[in-house]
């Protein structure tokens, strides 16, 4: 086997492990990621899984990184070509609803980050820091979109972007809970109505 082919196969194996780890973590949390569990599920040896990451913590961090990349493509990526202002903010909000509601093949247990935030919010360490960092980045980016909408005159003068971003984040965490914990078929519609009220616009159009 050529070195190039060996590296490519190792990369594909690592991607396969992380992909399965994302699905497991969305249901059972990041603590549910054990080397033995993944090895059994994927038909690999424990050494084969461990060789790609070294530690469980490294596996958890790799899982978060890839899930974050998927979230960015699914939510921010779908909205990036929309007109700046309320159209792009609306597109971000709609894509976020779709992410929670429909990405079941990748995230069968719902939003992995909501699960991780609850799981690690009272802990310390690199995993907790990574979860907090991701939420801070998304809040800043969301606040930035709100600020652009206000500057464009699409939102009232005096709109506090950080406050709106805070409330939107809370709304989506509640939305994920309604889907996962209560299996509420009206959850998406409730989320859209809350968004419309929060931003003073009909986001369902």
Q: Tens digits of per-residue pLDDT, 103-147?
A: 888 899 889 999 999 999 999 999 999 999 999 999 999 999 999
In a domain, 186, yes or no: yes
User: Domain of 160?
Assistant: 57-199
pLDDT in tens, 20-60: 999 999 999 999 999 999 999 999 999 999 899 989 999 99
- The answer as to whether 18 is a domain residue is no
Domain count, the chain: 1
Residue 75 forms part of a structural domain:
yes
Q: Is residue 135 part of a domain?
A: yes
Q: 141: domain CATH number?
A: 1.10.357.10
Return the DSSP state at 45: -
Confidence of residue 201 (pLDDT cuts 50, 70, 90): low
pLDDT digit string (tens) for 137-179?
999 999 999 999 999 999 998 999 999 999 999 999 999 999 9
Looking at residues 67-95, what average pLDDT do you find? 93
145, 164 Cβ separation under 8 angstroms: no
CA 137 to chain centre: 12
- Asked whether the beta carbons of 148 and 85 are under 8 A apart, the reply is yes
In a domain, 34, yes or no: no
| DSSP string for 11-25 | HHHHHHHHHHHHHHH
**CA distance linking residue 59 with residue 50, whole number of Å:** 9
Please report whether residue 25 resides in a domain: no
């Amino acid at each position: 086997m050529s070195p190039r082919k060996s590296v490519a196969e190792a990369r594909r194996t690592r991607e396969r492990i992380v992909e399965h780890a994302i699905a497991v973590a969305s249901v059972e949390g990041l603590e549910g990621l054990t080397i033995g569990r993944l090895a059994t599920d994927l038909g690999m040896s424990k050494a084969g899984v461990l060789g790609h990451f070294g530690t469980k913590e490294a596996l958890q961090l790799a899982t978060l990184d890839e899930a974050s990349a998927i979230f960015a493509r699914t939510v921010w990526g779908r909205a990036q070509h929309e007109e700046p202002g309320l159209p792009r903010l609306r597109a971000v909000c709609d894509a976020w609803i779709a992410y929670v509601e429909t990405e079941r093949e990748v995230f069968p247990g719902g939003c992995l980050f909501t699960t991780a935030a609850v799981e690690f919010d009272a802990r310390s360490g690199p995993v907790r820091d990574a979860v907090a960092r991701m939420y801070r980045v998304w809040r800043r980016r969301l606040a930035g979109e709100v600020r652009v909408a206000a500057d464009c005159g699409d939102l009232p003068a005096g709109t506090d972007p950080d406050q709106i971003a805070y409330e939107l984040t809370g709304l989506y965490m509640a939305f994920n809970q309604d889907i996962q914990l209560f299996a509420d078929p009206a959850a998406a519609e409730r989320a859209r109505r809350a968004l419309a009220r929060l931003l003073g616009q009909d986001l369902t159009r």
